[in-house]
Structure 1
Amino acid sequence: MPVPPQVQKALDDFDKQLQQPGPLTNVLATVEQKTGVKRLHLVLGVLGLQALYLIFGHSAQLLCNFMGFVYPAYMSIRAIESSNKDDDTQWLTYWVVFAIFSVLEFFSVQIVAVFPIYWLFKSLFLLFLYLPAFRGATKLYHRFIQPFAAKHGQSIDARLGNVADKVNNAANKLVNEVRDHLE
């Protein structure tokens, strides 16, 4: 069965990356040599099994969140250490989106009941957000977040300022009441 040209190009590009020297590709080369199975096929097989697990696996949520945490956490630390502002934007935006997912997943039982391949789609979306080939978090920031912040930033700042003032007043009142009670 012929593969569509776009898919074949993506597979060829991916295979070229798998041929580049590196710790993972060195392991893949050894496995390829010992088994006779091309490293591209090995990786695609592992990705296929992982996709099946994200659909049917008992701890799919844990695997998905693990995938969405480990590499981004490491790259965020590297971004903090670099002087490049672009990587800061990439990783701060990524963590904002990751946090939004985390809050929404309070309802994950209901989501998964209606949409059983949720963890697979979330994993793919997180990969889109953080993989260097896509840098989706940066795209998301420039396409949606930055325009929204530019349009509504002053209003949000004012409302947050009001909330902060109310919280501060309530905290001061509580401290004074506790102090009066203790005296």
Structure 2
Amino acid sequence: MPSLRERLQAFINGDNLMANMLGKVEARTGIKKYYLATGSFCSMGLYLVFGYGASLLCNLIGFIYPAYCSVKAIESPDKKDDTIWLTYWVVYGIFSVVEFFSDIFLFWFPLYYVGKCVFLLWCMAPFTWNGSRLLYNRFIRPFFLKHQQAVDSVINDLSEQALSTAETVTREVLHTLASSKVLQSAGGTKQAATSSSHTEQQ
């Protein structure tokens, strides 16, 4: 099994956005990509512990690169990468919902955003045992398959109720508009008759 350093070397020497950016910086500065990557990771870790706006930085890390790769996956003819990034977004969505309730208590811990950032990087990591695949296959997929029929039934019921409510509201609005037009028409006829009678009296 390759070591962490070997995996990092393979990643920064591969064909991806991060490797391309590091290659451009290496060409301009002469500093090797490995040192640029490790220095960037260390600086980012220190900022997540002590810096202002660590939450925003962490959310950007979890969104920008996966969004870029997702757009590339949509535009590519291969559907395997679509599955990879769809799996990531499912895990990311569930994590965001859970974090909404736990963030109030956990953000007080000094290493909270470092841990969150490491978790998101693990979920988007370019290897077969990354976090999103592991969590999806072990927890999300079994839960989904077990409760799929019940969830589909609830969604269908909600869709039918929403459609019925929309039809009812539309009928009431049309009825109200028609009633107001009838009243306006009746008012106009009454005014015309009144003015006609005044003219005859004169």
Query: Would you call these one fold, judging by a TM-score over 0.5?
Result: yes
Q: Show the counterpart of 1:31.
A: 29
The structural deviation recorded for 1:81 is: 2.2
Between 1:142-151 and 1:63-72, the stretch displaced more is 142-151
Distance 2:63 2:136 in 1: 19
Q: Which residue of 2 aligns with 1:10?
A: 4
Alignment of 1:108-127 (within 5 A): 108-113=103-108, 115-127=109-121
Out of 50, 60, 63, which is 1:66 matched to? 60
Aligned to 1:91: 85
Alpha-carbon shift at residue 16 of structure 1 (Å): 5.4
**Contact 2:91/2:136 (8 A) holds in 1:** no
**Please, which runs of 5 or more residues in structure 2 have no aligned partner?**
179-202
Structure 1 portions without partners, runs of 5+: 1-5
2:50 match = 56
CA distance 1:20–1:95, shift in 2 (3 Å): closer
- Deviation by residue 1:106-164 (Cα, 9 ceiling, x = unmatched): 44344313x34322222111111112135432333222222222211111100111111
**Structure with the greater relative contact order (CA < 8 A, sep ≥ 6): 1 or 2?**
1
Q: Which residue of 2 aligns with 1:174?
A: 169
Amino acid at match of 2:29: V
Counterpart pick for 2:124 among 125, 130, 133: 130
Q: Select which of 34, 37, 43 maps to 1:40.
A: 34
Larger radius of gyration: 2
How far apart are the structure 2 equivalents of 1:16 and 1:81?
A: 25
Question: 2 CA distance for matches of 1:143 and 1:57?
Answer: 35
Aligned twin of 2:185: none
Post-superposition Cα deviations, 1:68-100, rounded to whole Å, max 9, x if no partner, equal: 111111111121123333322221121122223
Amino acid at match of 1:140: L
What residue number does 1:158 align with? 153
TM-score calculated relative to the size of structure 1: 0.77
For the 8 Å contact 2:123–2:132, the answer to whether it is kept is yes
Amino acid of the structure 1 residue aligned with 2:177: L
Percent of residue pairs bearing the same amino acid type: 40
Indicate conservation of the 8 Å contact 2:91/2:135, yes or no.
no
Superposition RMSD in Å: 2.7
1:29–1:39 contact (8 Å) kept in structure 2: no
CA contact under 8 A between 2:87 and 2:133: conserved in structure 1? yes
Instruction: State the number of aligned residues.
Output: 172
For 1:79 and 1:19, the matched residues in 2 are separated by 21
Relative distance call for 1:17 and 1:162 in structure 2 (3 A) is closer
Tell me by how many angstroms 1:56 deviates.
Answer: 2.4
